[in-house]
Amino acid sequence: NAGVTQTPKFQVLKTGQSMTLQCAQDMNHEYMSWYRQDPGMGLRLIHYSVGAGITDQGEVPNGYNVSRSTTEDFPLRLLSAAPSQTSVYFCASSYSIKNRVYGYTFGSGTRLTVV
């Protein structure tokens, strides 16, 4: 049982490049989310999903796309990287009971630098 796995752990991109941050969980959790963490800003929600085939925008969705074709995977795509997207990205998943979410299990993060 690996929990939430994020890849890569580190990435450097040039401005304008695209890439996909991978996130996979093996706990059969319905809920999955992507957060970014900048110094002094806490965790800000980018996109989230309450189940396969369902995604929605969080607080800071611009510049990012997501899809949820399976329960296990929730990739985050940067279409055209910008220096403002330099951050640490965390993926998280959670189970729910009767439509109420319980806690979150986080991945170890992807540190992205855009130059």
Partner 1 sequence: GESVGLHLPTLSVQEGDNSIINCAYSNSASDYFIWYKQESGKGPQFIIDIRSNMDKRQGQRVTVLLNKTVKHLSLQIAATQPGDSAVYFCAEPQSSMNRDDKIIFGKGTRLHILP
* 3 state SS of 85: helix
Of 71, 93, 94, 112, which one interacts with partner 1 (CB under 8 A)? 94
User: Which of 50, 65, 67, 77 is the binder for partner 1 (CB under 8 A)?
Assistant: 50
Contact flag: residue 105 with partner 1 (CB under 8 A): yes
Cis bond before residue 8 (omega within 30° of 0): yes
**Beta carbon of residue 45, minimum distance to partner 1 (angstroms, whole number):** 6
Count of residues that bind partner 1 according to CB under 8 A:
30
Q: Cα 84–92–67 angle (5° rounding)?
A: 70
Phi-psi region of 59 (alpha: psi -120 to 50; beta: other; left: phi over 0): alpha
Among 60, 78, 81, 90, binds partner 1 (CB under 8 A): 90
Nearer to partner 1, 16 or 56 (CB): 56
Q: Measured from the CB atom, is 69 or 108 closer to partner 1?
A: 108
3-state SS assignment for residue 115: coil
